[in-house]
A and B are shown apart, each in its own frame.
Chain A
Amino acid sequence: MNFPILSSIIFLPFLGALFIFLSQSKTSSNKSAIYVSLFTSIANFLLSIFLWYSFDRNFTGFQFVEEKNWISGLIKFKLGIDGISILFIVLTTFIAPICILSCVNSVKSRVKEFLITILVLQTFMLGVFCSLDLVIFYLFFEAGLIPMFLIIGIWGGPRRVYSAYKFFLYTLLGSVLMLIAIIAIYWISGTTDLVQILEFKIPKEYQYLLWLAFFSSFAVKLPMWPVHTWLPDAHVEAPTAGSVILASILLKMAGYGFLRFSVGMFPVASEYFTPLVYTLSTIAIIYTSLVALMQEDMKKLIAYSSVAHMGYVTLGIFTFTKQGIEGSIYQMISHGLISAALFLSVGVLYDRTHSRLINSYGGIVNILPKFSLIFMIFTLSALGIPGTSGFVGEFLVLLGIFQKNYFVAILASLGVILAAAYMLWLYKRVIFGKLNNDNIKKIKDINLSEGLVLSLLAIATIVFGFYPEPILDTISVSSDYLIENYKKDLIYHLMVNK
Chain B
Amino acid sequence: MIENFQILYPEIFLSLSILIILMVGVFIKKSYNLVTNLTFLILLILIAILFNEKGNTLIFSDVFIRDSFSNIIKILILISSLLILYSSQIFIKENNINKFEYPIIFLIAILGMFFMVSANDLILFYLGLELQSLALYILTAIDRDNLRATESGIKFFILSALSSGLLLYGCSLLYGFTGSTNFEIINNELTSENIGAVFAMVFILVGLAFKVSAVPFHMWTPDVFEGSPSSITSFFAIVPKIAGIAVFIRFMQVPFENILIEWQSIVIFLSIASMILGAVAAIGQKNIKRLIAYSSIGHIGYALAGIATGTLSGYSSSILYIAIYAVMNLGIFGCIFLMKKDGKYTEEINDLSGISTKHPLISISFLIILFSLAGIPPLGGFFAKFYVFMSVVESEMYTLAIIGLLTTVISAFYYLKIIKIIYFDEIVKPFDENKNFSISGTIFISCIFLITFFLYPSIFNDLILTAVSK
Q: Which residues of A contact B (CB under 8 A)?
A: 24, 70-74, 110, 113, 135, 138-140, 142-143, 145-146, 149-150, 153-154, 160-161, 164-165, 168-169, 172-173, 176-177, 179-180, 183-184, 186-187
Measured in the bound complex, the distance between the Cα atoms of B213 and A478 in whole Å is 54
Instruction: Please determine whether B390 and A183 come into contact, CB atoms closer than 8 angstroms.
Output: yes
Interface positions of B from 352 to 377, Cβ below 8 Å from A? 357, 360, 367, 371, 376-377
Q: List 24 A-B contacts (CB under 8 A).
A: A70-B456, A72-B462, A74-B458, A139-B378, A142-B376, A143-B378, A145-B376, A146-B371, A153-B419, A153-B420, A153-B423, A160-B424, A164-B416, A165-B413, A165-B420, A169-B409, A169-B412, A172-B408, A176-B409, A179-B389, A179-B405, A180-B401, A183-B389, A183-B393
Instruction: Please determine whether B457 and A180 come into contact, CB atoms closer than 8 angstroms.
Output: no
Instruction: Please determine whether B457 and A70 come into contact, CB atoms closer than 8 angstroms.
Output: yes
Measured in the bound complex, the distance between the Cα atoms of B374 and A142 in whole Å is 12
Instruction: Please determine whether B462 and A153 come into contact, CB atoms closer than 8 angstroms.
Output: no
- Enumerate chain B residues within 8 angstroms of A183, measured Cβ to Cβ: 386, 389-390, 393, 401
Measured in the bound complex, the distance between the Cα atoms of B456 and A150 in whole Å is 27
Measured in the bound complex, the distance between the Cα atoms of B386 and A74 in whole Å is 13
Instruction: Please determine whether B401 and A24 come into contact, CB atoms closer than 8 angstroms.
Output: no
Q: Which residue in chain A gives the minimum CB-CB distance to B410?
A: A169
Measured in the bound complex, the distance between the Cα atoms of B386 and A173 in whole Å is 16
- Enumerate chain B residues within 8 angstroms of A180, measured Cβ to Cβ: 389, 393, 398, 401-402, 405
- Enumerate chain A residues within 8 angstroms of B401, measured Cβ to Cβ: 180, 183
Measured in the bound complex, the distance between the Cα atoms of B380 and A92 in whole Å is 27
> Given A70-B457, A161-B424, A187-B393: A176 and B406 within 8 A (CB)?
yes
Measured in the bound complex, the distance between the Cα atoms of B178 and A3 in whole Å is 65
Instruction: Please determine whether B457 and A142 come into contact, CB atoms closer than 8 angstroms.
Output: no
How many contacting A-B pairs (Cβ < 8 A)? 87
- 10 A-B pairs with the lowest CB-CB distances in the bound complex, closest first: A176-B405, A72-B458, A139-B377, A183-B393, A71-B458, A153-B424, A142-B377, A173-B409, A143-B377, A172-B409
- 0 or 1 for each of B391-424: is its CB under 8 Å from A? (1 = yes): 0011000100110011011001100100110011
- Enumerate chain B residues within 8 angstroms of A138, measured Cβ to Cβ: 377
Instruction: Please determine whether B420 and A146 come into contact, CB atoms closer than 8 angstroms.
Output: no
- Enumerate chain A residues within 8 angstroms of B413, measured Cβ to Cβ: 165, 169
Instruction: Please determine whether B360 and A149 come into contact, CB atoms closer than 8 angstroms.
Output: no
- Enumerate chain A residues within 8 angstroms of B394, measured Cβ to Cβ: 187
Q: Tell me, yes or no, whether B5 is within 8 Å of chain A by CB.
A: no
Instruction: Please determine whether A168 and B416 come into contact, CB atoms closer than 8 angstroms.
Output: yes
Instruction: Please determine whether A150 and B393 come into contact, CB atoms closer than 8 angstroms.
Output: no
- Enumerate chain A residues within 8 angstroms of B376, measured Cβ to Cβ: 142-143, 145-146, 172
Measured in the bound complex, the distance between the Cα atoms of B423 and A154 in whole Å is 6
Q: Tell me, yes or no, whether B454 is within 8 Å of chain A by CB.
A: yes
User: Taking the nearest CB of chain A, how far is it from the CB of B409, in angstroms?
Assistant: 5
User: Taking the nearest CB of chain A, how far is it from the CB of B207, in angstroms?
Assistant: 33
User: Taking the nearest CB of chain B, how far is it from the CB of A376, in angstroms?
Assistant: 37
User: Taking the nearest CB of chain B, how far is it from the CB of A253, in angstroms?
Assistant: 14
Interface positions of B from 414 to 470, Cβ below 8 Å from A? 416, 419-420, 423-424, 454, 456-458, 461-462
Measured in the bound complex, the distance between the Cα atoms of B457 and A186 in whole Å is 17
User: Taking the nearest CB of chain A, how far is it from the CB of B422, in angstroms?
Assistant: 10
Q: Which residue in chain B gives the minimum CB-CB distance to A174?
A: B409
Contact of A184 among B393, B406, B456 (CB under 8 A): B393
Instruction: Please determine whether B409 and A165 come into contact, CB atoms closer than 8 angstroms.
Output: no
Supply 4 further A-B pairs (C-beta < 8 A) apart from A161-B424, A168-B412: A72-B458, A164-B416, A176-B409, A177-B405
Q: Which residue in chain A gives the minimum CB-CB distance to B423?
A: A154
Measured in the bound complex, the distance between the Cα atoms of B377 and A146 in whole Å is 9
Instruction: Please determine whether A71 and B457 come into contact, CB atoms closer than 8 angstroms.
Output: yes
Measured in the bound complex, the distance between the Cα atoms of B415 and A145 in whole Å is 14
- Enumerate chain B residues within 8 angstroms of A139, measured Cβ to Cβ: 377-378, 382, 454
Instruction: Please determine whether B409 and A24 come into contact, CB atoms closer than 8 angstroms.
Output: no
- Enumerate chain A residues within 8 angstroms of B378, measured Cβ to Cβ: 139-140, 143
Measured in the bound complex, the distance between the Cα atoms of B419 and A149 in whole Å is 10
